[in-house]
Amino acid sequence: MACSFRKGTNESYCGCFVQVLNEIVPEEEKRLVVKGDRNGKSLLVDILLKNSKKLDGCDKHWEKDLTIPDIAVTDVAQGVLDKHAGLILNPENVDDIGSFNRPIGYEYKIQDPSLKTLSATKYKVVDIKGDKTHLVYINLPENKVYEGYIWGQGKMFYRKLKGGVESYSIASRFEECKFKLGLCKFTNLHGEEAEVFTEYRDGLWYYNLPGYSVQDRKLKIFIYDKSGLPLYYRYYILNKGTGYEEIRVESYTES
């Protein structure tokens, strides 16, 4: 009963879960649940909620599955690969990532393939200084400008300006593992250590990442151009087999 709602098996976690469940659920409630009694199920839910911290303590026993299953390349992804043949980033040319190489006024967003024009938000190149490309994040349709960014070495950095002094910090800790194959550890937004396992297959970069809970894993699948800028993105929840995909949409406006 304890692990029947989980997909897959994880003996260490389930053993801990069963032990805690036996400790917190009175025998009478157990009998009611086994009989299928509606009140018994309601009582069980209440008990689980009140003891969620004890149950969460079993998370440390969860054995992470970092394998990346074979997933069919979608028509959208194949279309991107065909359109940009010869211009795709791969492990052999990743050390030769070039500059951003877009003019001031260039705009882009990774969004739903059905949307042919930029919508909701966008990034825009506003300045170029040497090998540093300055971008801003814009909310549409009011064109409200938010954070400033710097693009370099295929990665995005926050641009900070304080007292006339410019500084940079990596926009997402995951970016540190962006082009590293195999297992890579990084610190997530909550300050916790996380792991990503990365594979490259025929133009696509596959990232096995933690999901919303310790039991969940998700795949992020990217296609990059030779500057490291995404051409395609797919989000895929491993234990549900669901997700969505997006492609890069571009435009140019005079500044």
Per-residue pLDDT tens digits for 21-31: 777 777 766 66
Residues 143 and 174 occupy one common structural domain: yes
| Among 109, 173, 162, 101, CA closest to 138 | 109
* 66 in a structural domain: no
Peptide bond between residue 141 and the one before it cis (omega within 30 degrees of 0): yes
pLDDT tens digits, 106-141: 999 999 999 988 888 999 999 988 878 889 999 888
The answer to which of 2-16, 139-153, 213-227 has the lowest mean pLDDT is 2-16
Residues 160 and 57 in one domain: no
Consecutive H or E run containing 247: strand 242-252
Closest CA relative to residue 205, chosen from 182, 187, 189: 182
Q: What is the mean pLDDT of the chain?
A: 81
- Is pLDDT above 60 for 9? no
Residue at 69 is within a domain = no
Element holding 132 (H helix, E strand): strand 132-139
134 and 44, same domain (yes or no): no
pLDDT, residue 85, reads 96
Examine the domain organization and report whether 139 and 111 are in the same domain. Answer: yes
Q: Are 114 and 56 in the same domain? A: no
The helix/strand/coil state of 218 is strand
Q: Which residue range is the domain that position 31 belongs to? A: 11-61
Percentage of the chain with pLDDT > 70?
79
Contact predicate 148/158, CB 8 Å: yes
My answer on whether 177 and 87 are in the same domain is yes
Answer yes or no: do 231 and 135 share one domain: yes
Find, among 247, 235, 217, 250, the residue nearest to 66 by Cα.
217
How many structural domains compose the chain?
Answer: 2
Are residues 213 and 181 part of one domain?
yes
Residue 247 has pLDDT above 90, yes or no: yes
Does the residue 70 lie in any domain? no
Element (H, E) at 206: strand 204-210
Share of the chain above pLDDT 90, in %: 33
In a domain, 67, yes or no: no
**Residue listed under structure tokens 């693009």:** 151
CB 133 within 8 A of CB 151: yes
